[in-house]
A = this chain, B = another copy of it.
Amino acid sequence: MRHLITIDDLSDVEIQNLFYVTRSLKSGETEYYSRVLNDSSYLRNKILANLFYEPSTRTSSSFAAAMHRLGGNVISINDVNYSSVAKGENLQDTIRTMGYYSDIIVLRSQNEGDAKLAAEVSEVPIINAGDGKGEHPTQTLLDLYTIQEKFKTIENLTVTFVGDVVNGRTVHSLSKALKRCNLNYCETYDIDKLPPSDVYYLTRVQRERGSKGSYELTRDHVAEMPDNCIVMHPFPRNEEIPQWFDSDPRASYFRQMENGLYIRMGILVSYK
C-alpha cells in the first residue's frame, strides 16, 4: 500500500506510467481501456471516502466521478467540521475510523501537514487533495499531464506563473515538480510583463488566505502571447481570465478539468 501525499512520492518513471494509463483511459482506444473500462465493474463494491475539511466541489466531484466511472462507490463527508469532529475528535481517530469503512481516503484539509499525519496512522491509502498551503499532488499531475499532452514533453519548456505566487499551493507544488522535470526556465511574473513562454499559468487571488490585489487578462496581454502557447488556470477563477478568452484555442483550463478526471481514474486504477 502506498500513499500519495506529495508529488515526490512518485518517481519520474511512475509519473510517465501514470500518464500512459491516463492517456489510454482518455482515448478509449487501447486494449488497456477495453480491459479495464468495458468491464465497467473494475472497482465494484470498492469504496472511496471523500473526507473534506474544507469544501472543494471541483476536487471532490472529480474523484467521485473517477470512482463511479470505474464501477466503485463513494462516501462523501463534506461537512466534517460539523460532524464527529465537532465533538472533539482528532484527525487520527477519524482517519482510522474511515479506514474501516472505505478502501481509499481522499483528504482535503486546511492545515499543512495533515495528509502526512493521516498517512502515519491509516490502514488504507491516503490521497492528499490539498492540505492548506502544503501540496495538492493530483492537481500537479493533471497540470503536468495537460502540458505534456500539448507539447509531447515536459522538458525544455518555458513556464510563466502569474498571480498569487506567494500564497498559492498550486504554484508551489507545480514549480517543485517542474524543476524536477528539467524545465530550463520557470519564473513568476507580473501580468503586465509577460515574457515569451510555452505555458502561462494564471492563478486566482486567494482572498480567503489573506492575499490582496487582483489582475485581469486583457486583449493586449493576449496579443503578446505566442500562437503555440497554452494558458492554464486551476479554477475557480475570478476576474483573472474573462469569458471572451474561453473560445481561444490557447485557453486550456477546461482541458485541465477534463484531464483531472482521467488522471484520478489512472490513480485509482493503480491503487486497486
Stretch at the interface among A8-16, A153-161, A222-230, A236-244: A236-244
Q: Which chain A residues in 32-57 approach chain B with CB under 8 Å?
A: 40-41, 44-45, 47, 49, 55-57
Verify A76–B73 contact, CB threshold 8 A: no
Does residue A248 face the partner (Cβ distance < 8 Å to B)?
no
Contacts of A68 in B (CB 8 A): 45, 47, 73, 75
Least Cβ distance of A235 to chain B in Å?
A: 7
Chain A interface residue bracket vs B: 35 or more
The answer for the CA separation of A66 and B45 in the assembled complex, in Å, is 10
The answer for the CA separation of A74 and B70 in the assembled complex, in Å, is 14
Does residue A101 face the partner (Cβ distance < 8 Å to B)?
yes
Q: Which chain A residues in 167-186 approach chain B with CB under 8 Å?
A: none
Verify A65–B47 contact, CB threshold 8 A: yes
The answer for the CA separation of A112 and B64 in the assembled complex, in Å, is 29
The answer for the CA separation of A70 and B64 in the assembled complex, in Å, is 19
How many monomers of this protein are in the complex? 3
Verify B237–A89 contact, CB threshold 8 A: yes
The answer for the CA separation of A47 and B261 in the assembled complex, in Å, is 13
Does residue A133 face the partner (Cβ distance < 8 Å to B)?
no
Does residue A93 face the partner (Cβ distance < 8 Å to B)?
yes
Using CB atoms and an 8 Å cutoff, list the residues of chain A in contact with chain B. Answer: 40-41, 44-45, 47, 49, 55-58, 61-62, 64-65, 68-71, 73-80, 82-89, 92-94, 96-98, 100-102, 204, 208, 235-238, 243, 254, 257-258, 260-261
Closest 3 CB pairs of A and B: A89-B236, A65-B101, A57-B83
Q: A58-B97, A64-B101, A88-B238 are in contact. List 18 more A-B contacts (CB 8 A).
A: A40-B45, A45-B68, A47-B68, A47-B69, A55-B79, A57-B83, A57-B84, A58-B84, A61-B77, A62-B100, A62-B101, A65-B75, A65-B101, A65-B102, A68-B73, A89-B236, A96-B257, A100-B257
